[in-house]
Amino acid sequence: MYIPKTMSTQHPDNVRQPFFVENGLLGGEDEVQEAFYAFSHLGCDEQMWDFEGKEVDNFVVKKLLTKNESFFREKKLGQDVRLTLRVPNPEVEKAEAKMLLETLESIPRSYDAAKLFYGSDIAPIFEIILPMTTSAESLNKMYYYYKDFVVGKQHKTIGDRGTIREWIGEFKPEQINVIPLFEDKDHLLRSSDIVRDYLKDKEVEYQRVFLARSDPAVNYGNLSAILLNKIALQRLHKLSQELGISIYPILGVGSAPFRGNFRPETVDQILKGYPSVQTFTIQSSFKFDNAPDTVQRAINRIQQHEQQEPVHADEEKILDIIDRFTAEYQRQLMALVPVINAVASHVPKRRKRKLHVGLFGYSRAFDDSKLPRAITFTASLYSLGIPPELLGLNALSDEDIKTLGECYGNFEYDMRSALTFYNPLSPFVPLELKAYIDRRFGDVEPNKDSRELTDDIANRIKENPASDVGEQVLVAAHMRGFLG
């Protein structure tokens, strides 16, 4: 079975809106159009459909097929291109728990719509993504609820009137694949153990595993997020060899260096840095902040990539770096929380949908402080002239840099990409970090226009945290080529 390599997502990290947006913010109908655009014009072979939000469209399969008949006659949904659902995690998102059941119940309905369209048995949806996965039990609840209750109920009788199947019709597909999404340090490191436990009583052809990139960066720092991914990928590869089952990692990368540095011009670096990843997310900035032909070429390049063995990571050394780096990152971040939140309220919204819950729970609390979601967080710090990739760097020794060179070959490139938008005169730059950057990256010349703009934003916020800097924040984002 073909496994997708490019997963279009609905992450709102774009500065520019696509041509098909009618009212300024991407809404439900726009997202159906976006999915078709990703398939037909950009060449993506998968669309993640997020079922967490008021504006989500429950009839996306029917709308895609009926509105774009000629395309989907040629490219079969569920076979040539995929629609993969991201569902609420009821263990974390209590208010969304019942929506999970509604979403699972919609899968057989979508199957019926596709069967009517194609005249054959093709499941348009057969995989779901479980965010914030913490155990095999969480995955099993999802897997068996669908198998035993959504599909299993067709064999129940209603009084003496026969079975539900005889009354309503058969329920297909008979089972679904559950993709764990690991988002925090402990469970990224335990991802292979959790997947092993989940697979022990199942006969599967393959297993996909989703590794988060943005939320770990907010929580532990950019470098820690990268290194956690490297270890997880190495351990998942070993698990694949142990079980004799193909494991296909999905990496959730965005355009900002802090969220993956995945842009059309960096595709080759990222493919080289993550050779064992099968599927890369194509987020909104990648799709809409670049010329369509540039995006098409980049996606075509990704499609040509074949999964290989992961880059070797010395886990003992790397875990030590993660601990020290995270401590320094979090120390510097705590001092910046008030100013981050002051700017965050001026970062423009890009979609109508409600953002899903993040690692820090409903309020996104960091200790006793509240932080915005990853995209807004990133945009806020960039707007102040402090690319978040830089926080914590002064914790690294020369020996650490050498270790990083062995498993994270893009370190210099990523840091220099971020430093283009660094403002050494920003009043909020930690002094010890400034000294480290001067010593380690003194030859990097920041963008002059960006520096002047972030000067203005930082000084306004310093004088009055309630200052309206929305226009300047948007202009700065246009300069960078991504929102956050």
Instruction: Supply the CATH number for residue 95's domain.
Output: 3.20.20.60
For residue 309, tell me if it sits in a domain: no
- Domain boundary residue among 264, 279, 304? 304
Whether residue 213 sits in one domain with residue 129: yes
Whether residue 234 sits in one domain with residue 328: no
Beta-carbon contacts of 124 under 8 Å, excluding residues fewer than 6 positions away, are 61, 65, 77, 78, 83, 110, 111, 113, 114
Whether residue 476 sits in one domain with residue 436: yes
* pLDDT over threshold 90, residue 283: yes
* pLDDT tens sequence across 292-309: 999 999 999 999 999 999
For residue 1, tell me if it sits in a domain: no
In the structure, what pLDDT confidence band is assigned to residue 424 with cuts at 50, 70 and 90?
very high
Q: What is the DSSP letter of 422?
A: -
Whether residue 117 sits in one domain with residue 245: yes
In which residue are the tokens 């001067």 written?
Answer: 438
Cα–Cα–Cα angle for 114, 65, 179, rounded to 5 degrees: 65
Whether residue 376 sits in one domain with residue 277: no
For residue 237, tell me if it sits in a domain: yes
- Domain boundary residue among 285, 304, 323? 304
Whether residue 356 sits in one domain with residue 286: no
Instruction: Quote the distance between the C-alpha of residue 242 and its chain's center.
Output: 28
Whether residue 329 sits in one domain with residue 295: no
Residue of 458 and 299 predicted with greater confidence: 299
User: How far apart, in whole angstroms, are the C-alpha atoms of residue 480 and residue 15?
Assistant: 9
Whether residue 333 sits in one domain with residue 288: no
Whether residue 233 sits in one domain with residue 209: yes
* pLDDT tens sequence across 161-174: 799 998 988 999 99
When mean pLDDT is compared across 5-19, 111-125, 348-362, 441-455, the lowest value belongs to: 348-362
Whether residue 353 sits in one domain with residue 298: no
For residue 99, tell me if it sits in a domain: yes
Check: CB of residue 84 under 8 Å from CB of residue 7. yes
For residue 310, tell me if it sits in a domain: no
What does the block give as tokens for 45? 């072979």
Cα 220 to Cα 214, 245, 310, 371: the distances in Å are 10, 31, 22, 13
Question: Which structural domain, as residue segments, surrounds residue 278?
Answer: 6-304
In the prediction, which pLDDT does 382 show? 97
In the prediction, which pLDDT does 104 show? 94
- Domain boundary residue among 260, 281, 304? 304
Strands 127-130 and 177-182: parallel
Average the pLDDT over 355-362 and give the result.
45
Check: CB of residue 180 under 8 Å from CB of residue 133. yes
Domain count, the chain: 2
Average the pLDDT over 3-22 and give the result.
92
Whether residue 327 sits in one domain with residue 284: no
In the structure, what pLDDT confidence band is assigned to residue 56 with cuts at 50, 70 and 90?
low
| Upstream peptide bond of 108 is cis (omega within 30 degrees of 0) | no
Please give the single-letter amino acid code of residue 350: R
- 139: nearest Cα among 78, 87, 186: 87
Three-class SS state of 284: helix
- 324: nearest Cα among 403, 250, 393: 393
Three-class SS state of 115: helix
Q: What is the DSSP letter of 122?
A: -
* pLDDT over threshold 50, residue 458: yes
Average the pLDDT over 226-239 and give the result.
98
Whether residue 319 sits in one domain with residue 299: no
Cα 162 to Cα 148, 151, 158: the distances in Å are 19, 16, 6
Q: Phi and psi for 85 in degrees, rounded to 5?
A: -90, 130
* pLDDT over threshold 90, residue 106: yes
